[in-house]
Amino acid sequence: MKSSFNEIIKDDKPVLVDFYADWCGPCKTLAPILQETKAELGDDVKIVKIDVDKNQELSEKYQVRGVPTLILFKNGQQLWRQSGVVQKSALVQLLRSHQ
Protein backbone atom coordinates (compact mmCIF):
# COMPACT_ATOMS: atom_id res chain seq x y z
CA MET A 1 0.00 0.00 0.00
CA LYS A 2 2.75 2.43 0.94
CA SER A 3 4.55 2.49 -2.42
CA SER A 4 1.34 2.83 -4.39
CA PHE A 5 0.17 5.60 -2.03
CA ASN A 6 3.41 7.48 -2.72
CA GLU A 7 2.80 7.10 -6.45
CA ILE A 8 -0.78 8.34 -6.13
CA ILE A 9 0.13 11.53 -4.26
CA LYS A 10 2.84 12.40 -6.83
CA ASP A 11 0.13 13.11 -9.42
CA ASP A 12 0.15 16.56 -10.99
CA LYS A 13 -3.59 16.75 -10.29
CA PRO A 14 -4.80 17.56 -6.77
CA VAL A 15 -5.15 14.38 -4.68
CA LEU A 16 -7.47 14.68 -1.69
CA VAL A 17 -6.86 11.91 0.85
CA ASP A 18 -9.61 11.11 3.33
CA PHE A 19 -8.29 9.32 6.42
CA TYR A 20 -11.40 7.70 7.88
CA ALA A 21 -12.68 4.84 10.04
CA ASP A 22 -15.78 2.66 9.60
CA TRP A 23 -16.87 3.36 13.19
CA CYS A 24 -16.61 7.16 12.81
CA GLY A 25 -19.90 9.09 12.61
CA PRO A 26 -18.48 12.29 11.06
CA CYS A 27 -16.70 10.12 8.46
CA LYS A 28 -20.10 8.81 7.37
CA THR A 29 -21.32 12.41 7.08
CA LEU A 30 -18.29 13.32 4.96
CA ALA A 31 -18.58 10.38 2.51
CA PRO A 32 -21.47 11.77 0.39
CA ILE A 33 -19.86 15.24 0.44
CA LEU A 34 -16.73 13.71 -1.11
CA GLN A 35 -18.82 11.85 -3.70
CA GLU A 36 -20.60 15.07 -4.69
CA THR A 37 -17.28 16.93 -4.87
CA LYS A 38 -15.82 14.23 -7.15
CA ALA A 39 -18.96 14.31 -9.31
CA GLU A 40 -18.61 18.08 -9.74
CA LEU A 41 -14.87 18.13 -10.44
CA GLY A 42 -14.60 14.83 -12.33
CA ASP A 43 -11.16 13.80 -13.56
CA ASP A 44 -9.57 17.10 -12.49
CA VAL A 45 -9.06 15.66 -9.01
CA LYS A 46 -8.41 12.33 -7.30
CA ILE A 47 -10.10 11.47 -4.02
CA VAL A 48 -8.58 8.58 -2.09
CA LYS A 49 -10.00 7.02 1.06
CA ILE A 50 -7.60 5.50 3.60
CA ASP A 51 -8.99 3.40 6.47
CA VAL A 52 -6.86 4.32 9.49
CA ASP A 53 -7.50 0.97 11.17
CA LYS A 54 -6.17 -0.97 8.16
CA ASN A 55 -3.34 1.48 7.37
CA GLN A 56 -1.89 2.41 10.75
CA GLU A 57 1.64 2.92 9.43
CA LEU A 58 0.42 5.47 6.86
CA SER A 59 -1.76 7.18 9.47
CA GLU A 60 1.22 7.49 11.80
CA LYS A 61 3.46 8.80 9.01
CA TYR A 62 1.03 11.66 8.36
CA GLN A 63 0.28 12.14 12.08
CA VAL A 64 -3.44 11.51 11.74
CA ARG A 65 -4.74 11.85 15.30
CA GLY A 66 -8.46 12.12 14.59
CA VAL A 67 -10.86 11.09 11.87
CA PRO A 68 -11.91 12.25 9.45
CA THR A 69 -8.71 14.03 8.43
CA LEU A 70 -8.41 15.38 4.89
CA ILE A 71 -4.99 16.02 3.39
CA LEU A 72 -4.48 17.58 -0.04
CA PHE A 73 -1.42 16.58 -2.06
CA LYS A 74 -0.12 17.66 -5.44
CA ASN A 75 3.18 16.49 -6.96
CA GLY A 76 3.90 14.67 -3.69
CA GLN A 77 3.67 17.86 -1.62
CA GLN A 78 1.18 18.31 1.19
CA LEU A 79 -0.68 21.56 0.47
CA TRP A 80 -3.49 21.56 3.02
CA ARG A 81 -4.98 19.49 5.82
CA GLN A 82 -7.99 19.66 8.09
CA SER A 83 -9.73 17.38 10.52
CA GLY A 84 -13.48 17.16 10.71
CA VAL A 85 -16.27 17.51 8.19
CA VAL A 86 -15.69 20.07 5.43
CA GLN A 87 -18.59 21.37 3.35
CA LYS A 88 -18.68 20.63 -0.38
CA SER A 89 -18.48 24.28 -1.43
CA ALA A 90 -15.26 24.75 0.58
CA LEU A 91 -13.74 21.56 -0.86
CA VAL A 92 -14.61 22.50 -4.45
CA GLN A 93 -13.11 25.96 -3.97
CA LEU A 94 -9.96 24.52 -2.38
CA LEU A 95 -9.46 21.89 -5.09
CA ARG A 96 -10.08 24.33 -7.94
CA SER A 97 -7.51 26.72 -6.48
CA HIS A 98 -4.86 23.96 -6.78
CA GLN A 99 -5.65 22.70 -10.29
Q: Kindly name the residue from 27, 41, 58, 70 that is annotated as catalytic.
A: 27
Number of domains in the chain: 1
Over residues 42-75, the pLDDT tens digits come to 999 999 999 999 999 999 999 999 999 999 999 9
Kindly report the CATH number assigned to the domain that includes residue 93: 3.40.30.10
- Can you give the pLDDT at residue 94? 97
CA distances from 50 to 11, 69, 89, 96 (A): 17, 10, 22, 22
Does the active-site annotation cover 13? Answer: no
Over residues 10-26, the pLDDT tens digits come to 999 999 999 999 999 99
Q: What is the DSSP letter of 10?
A: T
Does the active-site annotation cover 56? Answer: no
Q: Kindly name the residue from 24, 31, 47, 48 that is annotated as catalytic.
A: 24
Domain span at 45:
2-97
